[in-house]
Amino acid sequence: MHARVSAVLLAALGLGATGCGAGGDAPTTVLDVHAAASLTDTFTELAGQFEAEHPGVEVSLNFAGSSTLVQQLTAGAPADVLATADERSMAGAVDAGLVDGEPEVFATNVLTVVVPAGNPAGVGSFRDLADPGVQVVVCAPQVPCGAATERVEEASGVRLSPVSEEGSVTDVLGKVTSGQADAGLVYTTDARSAGDAVEVVEIPQASRAVNRLSVAALADADETGPARQFAELVAGDRGREVLSAAGFGAP
């Protein structure tokens, strides 16, 4: 009787022999990927592909401005892979000893102006953003899209007076789509992802402010093999196919 009760209890608690041995579920490996906010859609798709091809591996994605990601890692945040929206941010990670091996440039991106559907402020050019009364939102200078904005200002000779400087390009886009701003500077890929919620005003000088995105496995990665494999997926043919479909340029 006692033996039967013990067996029932063990089964109820999941402590039977099959629960601890080969019959149990395989443990899940969590791969922490820190990526620039502009990569949200593409990396979500690539993470799904990676998980499908690597049973037992779960990809955990953390999106933010590139400079914020590097700050988090420098402060000790655990991560296995880093993907930044520019080489300057990745260089900061390299200088801090965070990167395993050489980062690889895997795509390019350029800025454009977006306005809410209907373009209520009548913005027709980059110069219009400097007109009094036009509420413009940009990325903060330390963020890749903010640094690119400064280069466009220099190339065009137009100095902006933004009503706010955001920590990521997705925050800029959100201010525009919600009607909190008349215009914002975002990447062409973000403009595409917003669909009919925004209209695009091309910037001729944007070609002089191209950002080169890079990816690397990290030196303190808990999962070195999967980290390198994920970075290879991003920089490989299938990664470039996904990125190209989203509007990213070739590296």
The residue segments making up the domain with residue 223 are 28-108+212-245
187 and 234 belong to one structural domain = no
Task: Report the mean per-residue pLDDT for the chain.
Answer: 90
Q: Is residue 117 part of a domain?
A: yes
Q: Is residue 18 part of a domain?
A: no
Please list, in sequence order, all residues whose beta carbon lies within 8 angstroms of the beta carbon of residue 247, skipping any fewer than 6 positions away.
Answer: 188, 189, 192
Q: Is residue 237 part of a domain?
A: yes
User: How many angstroms separate the Cα of 136 from the Cα of each of 41, 61, 113, 116, 120?
Assistant: 25, 30, 10, 12, 13
Q: Is residue 103 part of a domain?
A: yes
Beta bridge partners of 183: 136
76 and 135 belong to one structural domain = no
71 and 190 belong to one structural domain = no
80 and 128 belong to one structural domain = no
* Neighbour-count burial for 220-238, b at 16+ CB within 10 Å, e otherwise: ebebeebbbbbbebbbeee
Q: Is residue 155 part of a domain?
A: yes
124 and 195 belong to one structural domain = yes
103 and 123 belong to one structural domain = no
CATH number of the domain at 59, please. Answer: 3.40.190.10
48 and 118 belong to one structural domain = no
Task: State how many domains the chain has.
Answer: 2
Residue 151 tokens, joined: 């280069």
66 and 134 belong to one structural domain = no
Q: Is residue 8 part of a domain?
A: no
The tens digit of pLDDT for each residue in 208-246 reads 899 999 999 999 998 889 999 999 999 999 999 999 999
60 and 92 belong to one structural domain = yes
User: What does the pLDDT read at residue 208?
Assistant: 86
Q: Is residue 201 part of a domain?
A: yes
For the chain, give the percent of residues with pLDDT over 70: 89
The tens digit of pLDDT for each residue in 69-127 reads 999 999 999 999 999 999 999 999 999 999 999 999 999 999 999 999 999 999 999 99
Q: In the predicted model, what is the mean pLDDT of residues 146-166?
A: 96
121 and 238 belong to one structural domain = no
User: What does the pLDDT read at residue 81?
Assistant: 98
115 and 196 belong to one structural domain = yes
104 and 219 belong to one structural domain = yes
Distance separating alpha carbons of residues 163 and 161, to the nearest angstrom:
7
Question: Which residue pairs, CB below 8 angstroms and at least 24 apart, start in 156-160?
Answer: 156/126, 156/127, 156/203, 156/205, 158/126, 158/127, 158/129, 158/130, 159/130, 160/129, 160/130, 160/136
Q: Is residue 7 part of a domain?
A: no
Residue type, 245: A
Q: In the predicted model, what is the mean pLDDT of residues 46-50?
A: 98
Let me know if 61 is exposed, middle or buried by CB neighbors in 10 A (0-12, 13-18, 19+).
middle
Q: How confident is the model at residue 27 (pLDDT cuts 50, 70, 90)?
A: low
User: What does the pLDDT read at residue 28?
Assistant: 87
